Amino acid sequence: MEGETGRCVRVLCPKKSLLSSKNPGLRWLIGSPLFLPPFTVVSSFRCLHAHPNNDPYSPDFAKEADEIRMLLLRGFNIIGALFVGDGNWEKGAWKAVEASSKMRKFLFGDGDCDLVGAATDLITDDIHFFVSHSTNMESMETVSTVVFEDNPERYIWEKGCLLRCELELMLPVFVPLDKTSEGAEIVSSLVDEAAAKLRDPYVAYLVEGSNVDTDESSRSIVLHGMELDLKPDHSDSMLLKASMKESGAKNLACSHFYLKDKNISSSTIRENADAIQIAVLSNQSRNNCKSAVPVAEYFPATEYARNLNVNFKLDVLCYASEDFTIADALSKLIIPGLIDQLNSIKKAVIPELLSQPQLYPYHFLPPELLHPITAIYDLRYGETEMKQGEMRRSLHSRLGLPLDRPLLRIANALSFGMKSTKDTHSVKYGSSLLKNVHTEIPTSGVSGGIISLIDGSYEYYHYLLYGFDDNGWGCAYRSLQTIVSWYRFQQYASIGVPSHREIQQALVDMGDKEPSFVGSREWIGAIELSYVLDKLLGVSCKIINVRSGEELPEKCRELSIHFQTQGTPVMIGGGVLAYTLLGVDYNQASGDCAFLILDPHYTGNDDLKKIVNGGWCGWKKAVDSKGRNFFLKDKFYNLLLPQRPNMV
């Protein structure tokens, strides 16, 4: 093995994501050799499929390639692997290089390139990086410089963009009743024909510029297959090319179409994705120079057959740099991506041809991942069907995502082309309320404390919202609405945030209140909130009882654990007042602590500056610097701790 090299490995994903699985095996390192500097690691995918001997270091390359080809956007590729093993760094890194080279050949037929080999053990968090141009162990070089980037998103999105192409195909299949096995061959042949047509010189591709967050008109051009680098086999393609005028449109860069916000990031893409749109247009009569009337031919069936209309809904998302030409993006990314997805869906359709699977691609950008991924779901039986749940759990495991929260459900899928407003996340859910108001508040004043906060987004519900007068009695209702909004934003629930009357009706329906309760101005507390959450969302709750407000600081450690493990908003009810707790800042050594309070008693308009400056959302100590008690000594308090459902 050669000595150290001056080459640098740049890691954009968090180091913890590379170490998310301490089981022996491999993690594929993902990069973008076309658009990012060499040896830039963007993310990692866990290798899930091994050969029947269950050797975690012997991948089933065919299965791995089928899944990753579907998952990974064109524009990204495997650039190496991480070996999780016994601490023999050089040998482990060599096995990682060897595996990633084979994997690239299975994926796209390209294995001969510089690759990153990395190794870690099962105990420490040390990762050793090597680079190699071949699978010969002697050619590996130790990397002397490894940079874990503090601001990784700028590498991806500062000069990067997304391209999207949707295409729906309906293939009529006639399967002989006594020869159903022939259906697979027929479908395979039709899919091959459809794939070939995507490379036809007569096919046109309409490219439309993104138009979100801009007043400029959408820019669009049409490119034909003969203008692209598709190596067509048609003998008359040169004649067609000669008959067309070169417009120079093929040399336009993606930046001509992608009018993006300078502050684009993964979080803005999750809320409102923007992409260059590609449409496929097929002119079936273009290659026929002679004028003719339409002709219909009749071919009688020679045997009884069953007609199946097999639907292929393609939705391909690709990544490119802004200076990449649109013609190259079509020929090297979009069209190969369409063909890959067409073949992936074909493999899933053929075994279940007679039961007509309903396969749809969706794009996701879960937290901790810097780039989108694509998943194809069969929606015949809905998302809650066991097989779909197992598929999502497998994807969570591959991507290193937590197994106790839904991040890859259809409701999590990226939304494209939504008009921006003050709050795009709220627009997605049909609301214009303020969200996450605590992000603008000053520090707590606790010295040396550890801050534990709510995990996820929520909306701020308070008195007089939407013109409904609940001043003096509706604070617990408003706290409950904030809690429900959290479950909606985290995709645990799809129901709307309940009104006061709907909350009251739920309590009546379960027998906790009399019918006269509906429409009243009666208070509710932590117990009633737990009933409603259970009935409407199926959410269980933990309740902490405190005899006096001055005892609340004693619960800070328990609350800190709650926010670290559950991450849900907490309702605090005492006397006739209710608050929403969003976090705690706790110094275990000194016992000093502060509570991050979202106060539902606010009656003004949704002015964030006014809310923060007025202390309606802010850190509160049980006793402030002037000796005033925020929590009353002569009142008991109930703390409602909603639990996070264990689901994907």
Catalytic residue set: 475, 599, 601
Bridge-based pairing of strands 637-642 and 570-574 is antiparallel
Angle at Cα 48 formed by Cα 44 and Cα 54, nearest 5°?
135
Residue 192, C-beta contacts closer than 8 angstroms, at least 6 positions apart = none
Task: Give 406-431 as a DSSP string.
Answer: -SSSGGGS--BSPPP-S-HHHHHTT-
CA distance 25 to 35: 29
CA distance 508 to 504: 6
Residue 302, C-beta contacts closer than 8 angstroms, at least 6 positions apart = none
Bridge-based pairing of strands 141-148 and 4-11 is parallel
CA 623 to chain centre: 42
Q: Are 82 and 19 in contact (CB under 8 A)?
A: no
Neighbours of 52 (CB within 10 A): 7
Q: Which two tokens stand for residue 137?
A: 């162990």
Q: Are 75 and 108 in contact (CB under 8 A)?
A: no
Measuring CA to CA, how many Å separate 606 from each of 364, 474, 609? 31, 18, 9
Angle formed by the axes of helices 475-489 and 526-537, nearest 10°: 30
Look at the alpha carbons of 104, 105, 109, 110 in this order and tell me if their dihedral is positive or negative. positive
CA distance 304 to 642: 60
CA distance 292 to 576: 84
Residue 474, C-beta contacts closer than 8 angstroms, at least 6 positions apart = 463, 468, 500, 521, 600
Q: Which of 600, 621, 608 is nearest to 553 (CA)?
A: 621
Neighbours of 451 (CB within 10 A): 16
Q: Are 230 and 196 in contact (CB under 8 A)?
A: no
Q: Which of 474, 484, 570 is nearest to 523 (CA)?
A: 474
Q: CA torsion 335→341→344→350, rounded to 10°?
A: -100
CA distance 629 to 618: 15
Angle at Cα 317 formed by Cα 311 and Cα 323, nearest 5°?
145
Burial class from Cβ neighbours inside 10 Å (0-12, 13-18, 19+) for residue 82 reads: buried
Q: Which two tokens stand for residue 532?
A: 């409603």
Q: Are 332 and 316 in contact (CB under 8 A)?
A: no
Q: Tokens 């963009």, residue? A: 161
Q: Are 287 and 241 in contact (CB under 8 A)?
A: no
- Amino acid identity, position 521: R
